[in-house]
Copies of this chain bind each other. A is one copy, B any other.
Amino acid sequence: MIVLLTDFGSKDPFVGIMKGVMLSYHPTLSIVDLTHDISPQDVAEAAFVLKTSLAYFPKATLFVVVVDPGVGTNRKIIYVETSRHRFLAPDNGILGWVLEEENPVRILEVKNSKYFLKPISNTFHGRDIFAPVAAHLAVGLNPEELGPAMRLEDLVSSPLPKPVQEKDGSWRGHVIYIDRFGNLITNLWQSLLHLKGDEKVELFLKGKTFKGFAKAYGNNHQNGGIVLLNSFNTVEVAVSHGNAAVAYGVKKGEEVVLRCLTSSS
C-alpha cells in the first residue's frame, strides 16, 4: 500500500498524474491519500501530519511525501525504512519527527535514474521520480538498487520547532497546526510533558488564559475556549461549536505557555 502526502492541493492535476504514473506500472496498486492540502511548501506542517498519522496504517506501508520547496536544486531524495514503515521523501527534515520515534533500519539516497521517468523535469519530481520509484518498490524492487546508503547524521537536520521548559516548570511552545474546525494544535506533546489528561492546567495564549483539561469538544457550558488533550496526543485550544482560530485571531506559529497547576501535588 502506498500513502501520498503532498502540498499539491486538489485543484491541479498533479496528484492524478502521479497516480497515473504509478498505475501504469502496477494497475492494481492500492493508493491512499493522506492529504494533499498541506500549506504550500510547509515542511513542518507535513511533518506533523505524518507523525500523527502513521501509526494507523498497516506495517510496511510506503509513505510518499512530496512537500519539496527545493525541487530541482541539489537537495537529495531519500528512501528510509524503519521497523514499521517505509518512506520516500526529500531530504529537508520532513522525516525529523518520525525518526525521533521510529529507528531507521535503512537510509538510502535515491539516485539511480534507471527507475525515473525521462526526461526528468526540474519542477515535478513527484511525477518523474517519486511516483515511478514508489511503483517499482511496490512491485518488489530491491531498495538497494535505488542508490548509496546514508547515515542518519548525514540527513538535513529537522527545522521543526520544539517546546522548551522554563525555570518555573511551565512549558513554552507554539501553535503548529490549525485544523479545519479552527482548533489550535500545539507542539506541547503529551509524552514530552508527561501529561495524563487529568491535571489542572492553565494555558496562556495572546494575553488570554484558558483552563483545562476539558474532556470533549461538546461538553463545555461556558461557550468559551477550552484546553484539551486531543486525538494527536498534544495540547489543543478549541471553542465548543465554534472556531478558535477565528475567535482569538490566532495564526500558526503563535506562542503558547502551559502551566500545570497540579504538577507538584
Contact = CB atoms under 8 A, between A and B. Distances in A.
Contact of A19 (B19, B21, B32, B123): B32
B71 A217 contact: yes
Interface in A44-71: 49, 52-53, 56-58, 61, 69-71
A10 B10 contact: yes
A37 B181 CA distance: 11
Contact of A219 (B15, B72, B121, B230): B72
Contacts of A101: none
Given A3-B20, A17-B53, A217-B123, A40 B181 contact: yes
Nearest to A21: B56
A168 interface: no
User: How many copies make up the complex?
Assistant: 3
A93 to B, nearest CB: 15
Interface string A27-42: 1101011111100110
Contact of A12 (B24, B35, B216): B35
Contacts of A23: 1, 30, 32, 57-58
A11 B127 CA distance: 21
B58 A32 contact: no
Contact of A121 (B11, B13, B218, B231): B231
A208 to B, nearest CB: 21
Interface string A123-159: 1100110000000000000000000000000000000
A252 interface: no
Interface string A198-210: 0000000000000
A251 interface: no
A156 to B, nearest CB: 13
Interface of A: 1, 3, 5, 8-17, 19-21, 23-24, 27-28, 30, 32-37, 40-41, 49, 52-53, 56-58, 61, 69-73, 75, 121-124, 127-128, 179-181, 215-219, 228, 230-231, 241, 243
- Please list the 10 inter-chain residue pairs (A to B) with the smallest Cβ-Cβ separation, ordered nearest first: A72-B216, A124-B231, A9-B180, A16-B34, A121-B231, A20-B57, A20-B56, A11-B37, A73-B218, A122-B216
